[in-house]
Amino acid sequence: MPACSICQQNLHSSLLTDGICLGCELKKSNGLTAPKGGEPAKQGLRCTRCNGSYFLLPPDGVCDECRAKEESQRLKSIVLTTSIDIPRREIIEVVGIVATEVAIAQSVLKDFANSFRDIVGGRSGNVQNTLKEARQSCLAQLKKEAFELGADAVIAIDIDYNEATTSSGVTGGILFVAASGTAVKLA
């Protein structure tokens, strides 16, 4: 695979122009020197968060790594609740409704074990674990949707569980979890 003649990054030939990748071409046109073999940039722009040196930065001056860390922290801070308010926090704006759905198919072996459990009775660890996984996935997706809308919390969350039937009318096999709520901004 050919490499960029400036940064030495291996790229498909369709991504190189005269042996130079687009990133280095842009850097070159801006009068910046390129690092050799993974060395840090000697000249360039500084990230406003980590002070790292980069050839290109978005207009806000924050590098991709710092932006990803900030987004991850903000995503973790989004509050999820089934209540219609959050104690000691004022809701200043309703952003919109967010909803997610997760469908998880159980394997044939799990279906067989569940059928056996129906006969002898008792709790099914397989089904419980599958439902827990689906619920956690739904709630994580709610946080992501709220984050994308710029919300600080999702209130009045409703979680619904259901089981799909196959075309033959036999139940089992696919478990559905749906969650919805109201995305809000907090003071």
In a domain, 4, yes or no: no
Say if CB 24 and CB 4 are below 8 A apart: yes
Q: List, for residues 163-174, the tens digit of each pLDDT value.
A: 876 665 555 568
Q: List, for residues 64-122, the tens digit of each pLDDT value.
A: 889 889 988 999 999 999 999 999 999 999 999 999 999 887 654 455 455 555 555 55
CA 60/CA 54 separation, integer angstroms: 13
Domain that holds residue 18: 13-69
* CATH number for position 162: 3.30.110.70
The pTM (predicted TM-score) of the whole model is 0.61
95 and 37 share a domain? no
Q: List, for residues 147-165, the tens digit of each pLDDT value.
A: 999 999 999 999 999 887 6
**Could you tell me the maximum CA-CA distance found in the chain, to the nearest angstrom?**
76
Which residue matches tokens 């919390």? 153
